[in-house]
Structure 1
Amino acid sequence: MPDLWTDRFLARLIGTDSGCWQWTGHIAANGYGQFWLDGRTQYAHRVAYTAVRGLIPAELELDHLCRNRACANPDHLEAVPHRTNVLRGVGFCAHKARQTHCIHGHAFTTANTYRDPANGTRKCRTCRAAARARSRHRRRGVHRAAA
């Protein structure tokens, strides 16, 4: 009898109260379930999504709406652009993108915000103006020796 990958795959899933299909097979260091299929290791959530929903468009990636990386339930996955996936997360970039005020309490408004051309991060114009004023004040206090 031929080895049906679906039988092997389904044997490694357990349903949870939250609706997740918890992967009980190998879990990679990054928290995603892995499954051997077609001669290579593949992510379990991608295998499940492809089997139920079809191919994942090349420009999109899967976002775990349940925030459980070991979940393989296609209903908990959404194909989205990389930026959307990152901004929905809880990492550093997502945290910074959700900030509404600078560390000194000034609102990030259109008028008070500029993008640093070096790295694209948001900067507060009010804080930048204050820093430049402090710098000018320090420079005025320094006397240069005559050449």
Structure 2
Amino acid sequence: MTGAGNDWSVVRLPESMAAKVTVMNGCWLWTGSLNNKGYGQVGVGGRVKLAHRVAYELLIGPIPEGLQLDHVRARGCEHKNCVNPSHLEPVTCQVNNSRTAAATKTHCVNGHPLSGTNLIVKRRTSGGEMRNCRICNLDSARRLREKKGAVRRYKTDARARALAGADS
């Protein structure tokens, strides 16, 4: 972390911001307005800005060009509405995305392993990756075909069953 130590305190925030912060287990939880993704938002100069970015810039300094702030789990922060600058780190978009819970999952919601032949990795237009379970993907396609009235069985059903047996 940059800056002169971790001597930050909520009282160093402007009074209008500090009044909307509750300290809990080291996190400075924003109790003001949240956006649809759960991040705090605050009005600054007639514009709505993300509260954690405003707090970082006020207490640390400008966020380097091309970087975004990551709420670092290794520092005990798992709250999108946390504005504590010691829980934030400027990183590239790729690094930020690689630290998400979705990027570090080892199994899908149905318990299938997200590895080997069962892992589908797709590139997003933003440059990130999307990781999907092949078994669940094939099962979803089968259910969609059945819903549409297609009764014909496809080779993918046998493939899904084979994958389920091989990976379990």
Q: Check whether TM > 0.5.
A: yes
Q: CA deviation at 1:100?
A: 4.9
Alignment partner, residue 101 of structure 1: 116
Alignment partner, residue 8 of structure 1: 16
Q: CA deviation at 1:116?
A: 8.4
**Aligned match of 2:45 in 29, 38, 56?**
38
Q: CA deviation at 1:63?
A: 0.3
**Aligned match of 2:85 in 61, 66, 74?**
74
| Identical pairs, percent | 38
Structure 1 segments of 4+ aligned residues over 2 angstroms from their partners: 95-102
**Greater RCO, CA 8 A, separation 6+:** 2
| Aligned counterparts of 1:116 and 1:87: Cα–Cα separation in 2 | 14
2:70 aligned with 1:63, yes or no? Answer: yes
Task: Check whether the contact 1:21–1:71 (CA below 8 A) recurs between aligned residues.
Answer: yes
| Aligned counterparts of 1:90 and 1:29: Cα–Cα separation in 2 | 19
Larger Cα Rg: Structure 1 or Structure 2?
1
Q: 1:96 to 1:39 in 2, by over 3 A?
A: same
Task: Check whether the contact 1:45–1:71 (CA below 8 A) recurs between aligned residues.
Answer: yes
Read off the aligned partner of 2:38 and give its amino acid letter: G
| Aligned counterparts of 1:55 and 1:49: Cα–Cα separation in 2 | 8
Q: Which runs of 5+ in 2 are unaligned?
A: 1-12, 108-113, 130-154, 156-168
Q: Kindly provide the CA deviation profile for residues 44-88 of structure 1, in whole angstroms up to 9, marking residues without a partner as x.
A: 000011011100012100001112100000010000000000010
Task: Check whether the contact 1:87–1:97 (CA below 8 A) recurs between aligned residues.
Answer: no
Task: Check whether the contact 1:22–1:72 (CA below 8 A) recurs between aligned residues.
Answer: yes
Q: Which runs of 5+ in 1 are unaligned?
A: 105-114, 122-133, 135-147
Q: TM-score, normalised by structure 2?
A: 0.54
Read off the aligned partner of 1:78 and give its amino acid letter: E
